[in-house]
Amino acid sequence: MTGRKPAELLPLPAAWLHVLVALSGGELHGYAIMSEVERLTDGVVTMGPGTLYGTLKRLHSQGLVEESEGPAEAESEGPARRYYRLTGFGERVLAAETARLSNLIHAASRGAVPSEGTS
């Protein structure tokens, strides 16, 4: 993935952004990603299994996420799970998308304030 610029992937589809933001706090397994996305969106977005793993597959193929070993204690807790984390490129893409959205929101906020003489 060397040589690729984050801007090439922007703007990110909503599902990609949700998963990347969820993984920005560290490695997570599928259920934890789904729960984190649900929490981040105040319960508005609940990703089903196909959507979640389809998205993870796409993110993986683009080099934005990778599988990880998971925490050491995970092996003794319940069923085997696949953990995912952001790659360096994924972090840069997320940062670029966050900056893009911030600029957009900033611009929208300025536009929402009535200019002098309009009211």
Residues 60-119 that bind other proteins (CB under 8 A): 71, 74, 77-82
* Residue 36 engages other proteins in binding (rule: CB under 8 A): yes
Does 19 contact other proteins by CB under 8 A? no
28 belongs to the binding site for other proteins (CB under 8 A):
yes
By CB under 8 A, name the one of 11, 13, 46, 67 that touches other proteins.
46
Q: Quick one: which of 69, 48, 60, 80 has its CA closest to 20?
A: 60
Q: How many CB atoms lie within 10 A of CB 59?
A: 23
Provide the residue type at 37 as one letter.
V
The CA distance from 97 to 12, in Å, is: 7
Per CB under 8 A, which region of 1-9, 49-57, 93-101, 104-112 contacts other proteins?
Answer: 49-57
